[in-house]
């Protein structure tokens, strides 16, 4: 009986891992900076979720980053997770910056 329970537990564990991997597959996207700004301005992006550290870039670093954008230089990836949040009394899907907030 013990082997059956162990096998069943293993199958359940493997299925849960499979479901997690299937649901949480990253989907890389190249999004124009203007679209990121529009999403931010309309409240579709939360760049300050409670678990994010505070903004630490100096003015010089900010300036270099803007130069990189203007010259078309590749910039580091920003990672978002979609979560359901209440915004102005309505539930909506919002992208939270989980890494790359400084960018």
Exposure of 102 by Cβ count < 10 A (0-12 exposed, 13-18 middle, 19+ buried)?
Answer: middle
Nearest one of 94, 18, 99, 90 to 52, comparing CA atoms: 99
Q: What is the pLDDT of residue 85?
A: 80
Q: What is the dihedral of CA 21, 52, 35, 77, to 10 degrees?
A: -60
Domain borders along the chain are 28-99
Q: What is the pLDDT of residue 24?
A: 62
Q: Please tell me whether residue 77 adopts helix, strand or coil conformation.
A: coil
Q: Tens digit of pLDDT per residue, the chain (103 long)? A: 556 677 777 777 677 666 665 556 666 777 888 888 898 888 888 877 777 777 788 999 889 988 988 898 888 888 888 888 877 788 888 888 876 555 5
This prediction has a pTM of 0.57
């Amino acid at each position: 009986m013990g082997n059956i329970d162990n096998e069943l537990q293993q199958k359940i564990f493997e299925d849960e891992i499979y479901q997690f991997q299937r649901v949480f597959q990253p989907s890389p996207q190249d999004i124009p900076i203007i679209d990121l700004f529009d999403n931010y301005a309309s409240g579709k992006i939360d760049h300050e979720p409670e678990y994010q550290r505070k903004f630490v870039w100096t003015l010089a670093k900010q300036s270099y980053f803007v130069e990189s954008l203007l010259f078309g230089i590749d910039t580091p990836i920003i990672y978002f997770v979609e979560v359901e949040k209440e915004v102005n009394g309505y539930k909506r899907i919002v992208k939270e910056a989980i890494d790359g907030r400084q960018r």
